[in-house]
Amino acid sequence: MKNLKFLITGLLIAASLVSCNKDPKENLAQLITNGGFPTTFVTANNGGNVTCAEVTSTTGCSFTYSSGKIDYYGGGGGTVDPITWTTDGTYVNWSSSVPVKIAVIVKGGNNAAVYFSGCDNCVTEGSGLSAPINPKNGKPYGLSNITFCYSTCEGGNGCQTAFARKSNEDFRKCFLDLGFSRWGWTNGPFWQGNSYDLDIYAGAGQCDINKGEKVGTLSVSFSTDGTATVSYEIYSGYGLSETHLYIGSDMLPLHNGNPTVAPGQYPLKHEDLNGASTDHYTVTGLPTSGPYWIIAHAVVCEESSD
């Protein structure tokens, strides 16, 4: 009980000390620094591990997504879409392709450090995050595991993640129904010699389009020679920041041999689109007899009214 109270006290201090600045370029490490007091340390709580549910219960800030506990066995980091993180085994840097409200739980030794952006702050990166300090040598414990608790911001810099969705439910599958922890759709099966139109929805958390907004359309055409053409068309008032695309004979793309829904791991991408209203792909080398599946992701930003 003492440890839980310490967690509650520390996180509430963090929440009260974080500013309400919604500048998406603000670095999380500037809001909650590795050596500063807003960092929360937890001792012997489930072996030193902290869950997103515990962060939610102590801060009152709910998160749409949780990465779950990611054990670290070496290597340079990983991806939890839209977040990419890197580490040298001690310090963690992360960035997000869209603004997020986030808590990063960094475990090492028997303790964990919680880096919390605050319930109302939209941020896109953080650096120098580590587990608590080892009192024997004055240095951080090595990274044992990491957890990301986050929600994509509806505001922030006016950018949101978006996915194409076939209106006919027989031709789409929500990622959540396939066992993944993020929303979005894979669409299919589609067939050679046919064309298809899909809607593009932004901010449709839990695959609920009533929570989001239709921001454009996607047109897909499959020829008989293994070629597909794909066109994004975004409505007036919005612009494209980047797009990520998968087309293949499997329902999901593979990354390191495993199915993935993380857009950063799709085989095709266009970045730095600078607010374009359209984007186009020509995909060759597909099987000539289908079926085909497509996942089309975009980061869509509201156009400035200035």
Residues 97 and 199 in one domain: no
User: Which comes out higher in pLDDT, residue 77 or 116?
Assistant: 77
What is the 8-class DSSP label of residue 13? H
Confidence of residue 128 (pLDDT cuts 50, 70, 90): confident
Residues 66 and 10 in one domain: yes
Kindly report the pTM of this predicted structure. 0.57
Residues 146 and 240 in one domain: no
Confidence of residue 8 (pLDDT cuts 50, 70, 90): very low
* Res 70: pLDDT: 94
Total domains present in the chain: 2
Distance CA 142, CA 30 (A): 22
Residues 298 and 185 in one domain: yes
Confidence of residue 14 (pLDDT cuts 50, 70, 90): very low
pLDDT in tens, 189-234: 999 999 999 999 998 878 999 988 999 999 999 999 999 999 999 9
Residues 65 and 193 in one domain: no
Calculate ∠ Cα 272-278-280, nearest 5°: 85
CA 70: distance to chain centroid? 15
Residues 42 and 18 in one domain: yes
Stated as kind and residue range, the H or E segment containing 105 is strand 92-108
Measured in degrees and rounded to the nearest 5, phi and psi for residue 268 equal: -120, 135
pLDDT at 246 over 80: yes
What is the 8-class DSSP label of residue 287? -
User: Which comes out higher in pLDDT, residue 24 or 91?
Assistant: 91
Confidence of residue 158 (pLDDT cuts 50, 70, 90): low
Stated as kind and residue range, the H or E segment containing 57 is helix 52-59
Confidence of residue 118 (pLDDT cuts 50, 70, 90): confident
State the residue range of the domain holding 263. Answer: 159-302
Distance CA 124, CA 58 (A): 23
pLDDT at 236 over 70: yes
Residues 19 and 50 in one domain: yes
Measured in degrees and rounded to the nearest 5, phi and psi for residue 62 equal: -85, 155
Residues 207 and 145 in one domain: no
User: Which comes out higher in pLDDT, residue 100 or 72?
Assistant: 72
Confidence of residue 44 (pLDDT cuts 50, 70, 90): very low
Residues 66 and 17 in one domain: yes
Residues 123 and 227 in one domain: no
Within 13 Å and on the Cβ side, how many CA atoms surround 256?
3
Residues 20 and 119 in one domain: yes
Residues 269 and 163 in one domain: yes
